[in-house]
Amino acid sequence: MDFRKTEFVKSAVKPADFIRDKRPQLAFAGRSNVGKSSVINALIQRKNFARVGAQPGKTSQINYFLVDSAAYLTDLPGYGYAKVSQAERDRWARLMEAYFQEKGLITLGVLIVDARHKPTKDDETMARFFKDTECPVIVVANKLDKLKKSEIEPNLALIRETLALDESIPLMPFSAEKGTGRIELLAEMEKALR
Ligand code: GDP
């Protein structure tokens, strides 16, 4: 699959808008500001395709991108931003519940966390959501460039432990800024889709 051949398809704000066709769906999730848009842009090798630095938590919508006419890259709304109204939180929760509960929507889950920190409670919840789908899951530890070399291994171990990732779940060090880990993540995604 050539990720450089990616086009925006549509946004969904309610379950009726979800895409339901035979193509696989790669669902990307992450806390607001973790760099989810930047990771997507790094994968498809375009600047500002997925909107970087969009005002966090402003919109509870799912954005669908079609990759190489073969699969959808499904950009789930970010979570965990403090300054979000209760109404917006409720909207987010309803949309995510509908999305995760419907069988057959997710083919592969990609959860993006911050390589610098212990995953948050919200990250733990999202990891649980993905595991409950019983689809393959990949966890991406972004912002690797912000770590000292000596911090990488212990931080990855802490992420694996906190999210209770068993050995079958790949944890991929990544830097959207530097492009580190792009080839490896694409290879893991292809492997999971086989
Ligand atoms: P989103 O809210 O998860 O979509 O996050 P964005 O992609 O908008 O990124 C949030 C901020 O983190 C922006 O200022 C990005 O430039 C920065 N950022 C994203 N990825 C990286 C990375 O790998 N390294 C560093 N140093 N900064 C990053």
Pick the atom of ligand 1 nearest to 142's CA: 23
Best probe residue, ligand 1, of 38, 52, 81, 122 (max atoms within 8 Å of C-beta): 38
**pLDDT at residue number 51:** 75
Full residue range of the structural domain in which residue 117 is found: 6-193
The pLDDT tens digits of the residues spanning 17-75 come to: 999 998 999 999 999 999 999 999 999 998 878 776 666 555 789 999 999 999 999 99
Instruction: For residue 179, tell me if it sits in a domain.
Output: yes
Pocket of ligand 1 (CB under 6 A): 30, 32-38, 52-53, 56, 78, 142-143, 145-146, 175-177
Atom of ligand 1 nearest to the CA of 41: 7
- Determine the residue type at 8: F
53 CA closest ligand 1 atom index:
8
> What are the b/e assignments for 124-156, b being 16+ CB within 10 Å?
eebbebbbebebbbbbbbbbbeebeeeeeeebb
Task: Report the separation in Å between the CA atom of 35 and the middle of ligand 1, taken as the mean of its atom positions.
Answer: 4
Q: Is there a domain that residue 1 lies in?
A: no
Is residue 110 in some structural domain? yes
Distance of alpha carbon 140 from alpha carbon 104, whole angstroms = 23
Model pLDDT, residue 83: 85
CATH number of the domain enclosing 60: 3.40.50.300
Q: How remote is the C-alpha of 141 from its chain's centroid?
A: 11
Q: Whose C-alpha lies nearest to ligand 1, atom 14?
A: 53
* Distance in Å, CA 102 to ligand 1 centroid: 30
CB-neighbour burial class of residue 117 (10 A; exposed 0-12, middle 13-18, buried 19+) = middle
Structure confidence at residue 53 (pLDDT): 60
pTM of the model: 0.96
What confidence tens digit (pLDDT) does each residue in 113-160 have? 999 999 999 999 999 999 999 999 999 999 999 999 999 999 999 999
Q: Count of domains in the chain?
A: 1
Using H for helix, E for strand and C for coil, what is the string for 163-188? CCCCCCCCEEECECCCCECHHHHHHH
Among protein residues, the one whose CA lies closest to atom 5 of ligand 1: 35
Q: Which residue minimizes the CA distance to atom 17 of ligand 1?
A: 35
Q: What interhelical angle do 182-193 and 36-44 show, nearest 10?
A: 80
Q: Is pLDDT of 82 > 90?
A: no
